[in-house]
Chains A and B, each alone.
Chain A
Amino acid sequence: MSIESDLASTNPKGAEPVLANVGLEQHLKTAPTLKSMLENDRDHGHGEASVREDEYKGHHIVVKTTYEVTVDGNPFHASLGVSMGGNVQYHGIPNVGFASAIELMRSVIDQFADEFPAVKGKRKKPATPLPDPAPSNMGHDHSGMAAMSMPPAGGPKKNASVPKKKAGARVTKAGK
């Protein structure tokens, strides 16, 4: 079927295709579907791999990426994905492409500060010193944007997030 014949089913006569009804009867028709969509759309952190493929000089490149993230030793139960361009994304902050998984997790801690309470006492250093994350704009076009480490809704909260460096957010696999 061509595009043109498919478009024959568009709305040429101007009939209203969208009908809005707040009634319970309509709600009950779709509630199971929406409940299922809510359940399925939750990010359960099953370690799904991002697969990037490319053809270069006759060679077929496949890059599979999975992220395993912990914060203060606790698993972070959300799947991170990476685009062909290399920016890291996840459904919890759905409109942002992050320069790295580290930048993403810093924003998660800031945005959902109540889920990451302040840590008391001195944190044990990781066995291997963690390198400083790359600048947020490294290799990406973020024109018009400030750094991508975002504060919680309504602004930063006192003692709500872990320190930015050597915070113990031990990322076992955090590269792109």
Chain B
Amino acid sequence: MPIRKNMVTNAAERQKYIQGCIALKAQFTAGITTTSLGIPGPSKPVSSWDRFVAWHSAAMGVAHRGPLFLPWHRMMLRTLEQLLQQVLGDPSFGLPYWDWAADGQLTPAQQLAAPLWSNGNGLGNGTSAPGPFTLAAFPVRLASNSIGQLRQVNRALQRARGVSAATLPTKAMTAAAVAATPYDVAPWNTSSASGFRNRVEGWNPPNQLHNLVHIWTGGDMLPASSPNDPVFFLNHCNVDRIWEKWMQLHTRTYIPTNTTAGAPIGQRLNDPMVSPFGPTVTAAQVLNMTAIYQYDSVNV
């Protein structure tokens, strides 16, 4: 069974992740093109990695700012994990997570200088030191414009760490999130005044936790095409770990159910979630994944 481990303290997992990301960026399936995805411009092949960018952009409305935020991204993460296992030839490979709240305990300067961002054996900083994700190895091909439309580009991955937000989330913030109940509340969106989902997504209070990691990392992590940056999945793997911790504490419950009055259609327990890589999945089906993968620690 895959064990998902800390990206910072497990060099072997880190290097496998980087290797797998670059391999998926170079993996193409004949017939899958920008045209077949409805992306304007000349018809060009779309890599397996870039299909995640398109998928996330397409699902902005259903996968964010509502109850489905956590199960939808769990489905996405598990899909990527399987593709990485296939391309690495390692069925035991587990997605690593970035325990960003641990870094949030450091000073802002220390956060920027953390080993995760080193050019040699880390992710690079995305500006002066691209690390392994150079233009040649990991070109950005699809990116959102100002109205959320995917467009074709050809440039290097970009980050602006610590510019729009001085510091990462802290352990106090994750502790407050894990203590929040129930899972979600009406009106089931960014205005939900309590509940775990709206807190961990980073809307209550605004610009914290998951959202703050996007903001702190900056660059390609800001628009809807944020899966361009491999840091996207490290962030969401940690969010998934926090959710797992929450379910261990509060039972594996999800609301709204399909009979909850006023619940938004598409956000309910047994509503289908579309995947370009496999059959539809429901939130109910991914609540308990402990027989599929586990975390080495849920000390969030």
Contacts and interface: CB of A to CB of B under 8 A. Distances in A.
B78 A38 contact: no
Contacts of A76: 146
Interface string A50-78: 00100000000000000000000000111
B190 A30 contact: no
Contacts of A84: 191, 193
Contact of B150 (A17, A38, A85, A150): A38
Contact of A20 (B191, B220, B278): B278
A116 to B, nearest CB: 8
Interface residues of B, number: 100
Contacts of B219: 153-154
Contacts, number: 257
Interface string A3-14: 100110111111
Given A10-B287, A155-B160, A145 B278 contact: no
A45 B276 CA distance: 28
A85 B220 contact: no
A27 B36 contact: yes
B129 to A, nearest CB: 13
A153 B144 CA distance: 12
Contacts of B55: 34
A169 to B, nearest CB: 13
Given A9-B284, A35-B38, A85-B206, A24 B212 contact: no
A33 B59 CA distance: 11
Given A30-B274, A31-B36, A83-B190, A94 B60 contact: yes
Interface stretch (B3-11, B14-22, B26-34, B116-124): B26-34
B164 A41 contact: no
Nearest to A146: B166
Contacts of B281: 17-18
Given A17-B286, A41-B148, A95-B211, A153 B224 contact: no
Nearest to B31: A24
Contacts of A13: 291
Contacts of B107: none
Contacts of B32: 24, 27
A111 B159 CA distance: 11
B267 interface: no
Contact of B279 (A19, A31, A33): A19
A58 B277 CA distance: 51
Contacts of A33: 274
Contact of A92 (B146, B156, B252, B270): B146
Contact of B79 (A12, A20, A151): A20
Nearest to A16: B292
A86 to B, nearest CB: 9
Which of A17, A89, A148 has the largest count of B CB atoms less than 10 A from its CB? A17
A164 B82 CA distance: 46
Given A34-B37, A145-B215, A18 B286 contact: yes
Given A11-B287, A85-B206, A145-B215, 16 more contacts: A9-B270, A11-B285, A14-B292, A30-B274, A37-B58, A38-B57, A78-B146, A91-B61, A93-B223, A95-B214, A96-B222, A111-B223, A115-B146, A143-B205, A151-B160, A155-B163
Interface of B: 27, 29-32, 36-39, 48, 51, 54-55, 57-62, 64-65, 75, 78-80, 82-83, 86, 104, 126-127, 144-150, 156, 158-160, 163-170, 173, 189-191, 193, 202-208, 210-212, 214-215, 218-220, 222-224, 226, 252-255, 257-259, 269-270, 274-279, 281-282, 284-292
